[in-house]
Amino acid sequence: MGCLHSKTANLPSSDDPSAPNKPESVNGDQVDQEIQNFKEFELNELRKATNGFSPSCIVSEGGEKAPNVVYRGKLEGNHLVAIKRFSRQSWPDAQQFVVEATGVGKLRNKRIVSLIGCCAEGDERLLVAEYMPNDTLSKHLFHWEKQPLPWDMRVRIADFIAQALDYCNIENRKIYHDLNAYRILFDEEGDPRLSTFGLMKNSRDGKSYSTNLAYTPPEFLRTGNILDLVNRTSRQTNSLLKVKGFCFFFCYAGRVIPESVIFSYGTILLDLLSGKHIPPSHALDIIRGKNALLLMDSSLEGQYANEDATKLVELASKCLQSEAKDRPDTKFLLSAVAPLQKQEEVASHVLMGLPKNTVILPTMLSPLGKACAKMDLATFHDILLKTGYRDEEGAENELSFQEWTQQVQEMLNTKKFGDIAFRDKDFKNSIEYYSKLVGMMPVPSATVFARRAFSYLMTDQQELALRDAMQAQVCIPEWPTAFYLQALALSKLGMETDAQDMLNDGAAYDAKRQNSWRC
């Protein structure tokens, strides 16, 4: 089956009163048309968006060796997306894959990440979703750097994910695969959202399975002896089985049912309460031992009322019942968690201590800033050429005055050849000449570092580009060009939050300069 000819499947309009569940706008704003429609992408589009599926674009925790890798990509129009690339053994039936993805792509709710497209071309099976810039729950809960997640944010996560699961139930999407801390992502506002990737079936036979035995519901292991189950699984997937001192490798452990998702939600509650990934059996032993508060993360001390913590522990216990029929439904989850939110008026990014990016309107940016914001490298190059060296006061005159020395003449010739190569977009040679020039000049030149930084960008050497842009800033501390170049390099490296910060800083210094000139 060929891929997809950029067709779009229109979703129900939010203005259509006959639509049973109207699409909700993301973060309260009108949903972009690119996100509102589900699209079948061509493989070349997604290859271009990820720089040829470059390892530097991988954002999934499993990295390049994960069976299903997730990449950060940038579509035309500067739309950031997450692209999940399945292993070649997954989804042999291209039509089945597209049908399943299209079904998931109809879901639109502010508590879940929108699936905006797919691709099934040749052996490739790819999903395209909105990009969430603020990492996973796993990162913020288990691997935090600046501060642990506060209690009120943990309660909000429990509430929002319950809302997401309830919405999926209403839409008859009751099966969610491997609900865990990696499946919960944070958007630009810091709000937690459920990844739609987990709503896709994840097997060759179109059935629903779980892939993590350590945290799966007990019903998965009740259909006979465990070795029989593993042997059966091994035969299905050609996986490797080794027993006694060896390792097990298998893809499918057991069938997922709606009640299994509730069990997994209980494990999320354990994560939020403890700040650790505690196996459910161990947690239940603590709960049954009447020492429920021993589960609590010590970093939360003083942030919660004991009765509120006890209610969440009790809810986790209900979700983790060994009999699937004894677990609550999503409506019960909502009724139990929603009343525990005590700071609904406080934005999530404030609770999490995340910087809120102030998006600067294009009209407030200089031409160079606009080119940076749009990642318009051709225009950026033109402006660098026209600007020349004029921001370095006296540098040109000083060199001209010293032309009588052979050393300075050689330096001027090297600079001339570098500038010609830069003008002609011969970036490989401009790097060579500017590198030689850097070693010759007694005083570093911000413009030379800036031009070499841009040349590195154009030859896919983003780390070196970032280094030179920082050197240019050292030469002229409040030079907007240096900040814009850092923004470009950081964006190419997938560090969008830092890139936006640099763009904002560059714009601020731009405005400061313009105001001083007016005076």
Q: Which domains does the chain have, with CATH numbers?
A: 1-131 (3.30.200.20), 185-352 (1.10.510.10), 362-518 (1.25.40.10)
In angstroms, rounded to a whole number, what is the distance separating the alpha carbons of residues 446 and 452? 10
Q: Span 181-199, mean pLDDT?
A: 93
Q: Long-range pairs for 140-144 at CB < 8 Å and ≥24 separation?
A: 140/186, 140/352, 141/181, 141/271, 141/272, 141/275, 142/181, 142/271, 142/275, 142/276, 142/277
- C-alpha–C-alpha distance, residues 231 and 39, integer Å: 40
C-alpha of 257 from chain center: 28
pLDDT of residue 457: 94
| Number of Cα atoms under 13 Å in the Cβ half of residue 26 | 23
What mean pLDDT, rounded, does the chain reach?
78
Taking the C-alpha atoms of residue 504 and residue 506, their distance in angstroms, rounded to an integer, is 5
- pLDDT interval class at 443 (50, 70, 90): confident
pLDDT tens, 128-161? 999 998 889 988 998 887 889 999 999 999 999 9
Q: Which residue has the higher pLDDT, 352 or 395?
A: 352
Residue 120: strand pairing partners: 125
Of the residues 178, 187, 501, 505, which is catalytic?
Answer: 178
Per residue in 285-336, pLDDT tens?
777 766 667 788 999 988 999 999 999 999 999 999 989 999 999 999 999 9
Question: What does the alpha-carbon distance between residue 481 and residue 486 come to, in Å, rounded to a whole number?
Answer: 9
Share of the chain above pLDDT 70, in %: 75
Q: Tell me how far CA of residue 102 lies from CA of 9, 69, 199, 258, in angstroms.
A: 8, 20, 11, 21
One-letter amino acid of 130 = E
**Does the active-site annotation cover 16?**
no
pLDDT of residue 447: 92
Query: Is the CB of residue 36 less than 8 Å from the CB of residue 11?
Result: yes
Q: What is the pLDDT of residue 290?
A: 63
What is the per-residue pLDDT across 85-112, written as a single tens digit (0 to 9) for each? 987 777 888 999 999 999 999 999 999 9
Name the phi and psi angles at 208, rounded to 5. -105, 125
State residue 165's pLDDT score. Answer: 96
> CA angle, corner 304, sides to 341 and 180, nearest 5?
65
* Residues 210, 323: Cα–Cα separation, whole Å: 17
Nearest to 279 by CA among 209, 192, 198, 217: 217
Report the distance separating Cα 78 and Cα 86, nearest Å: 24
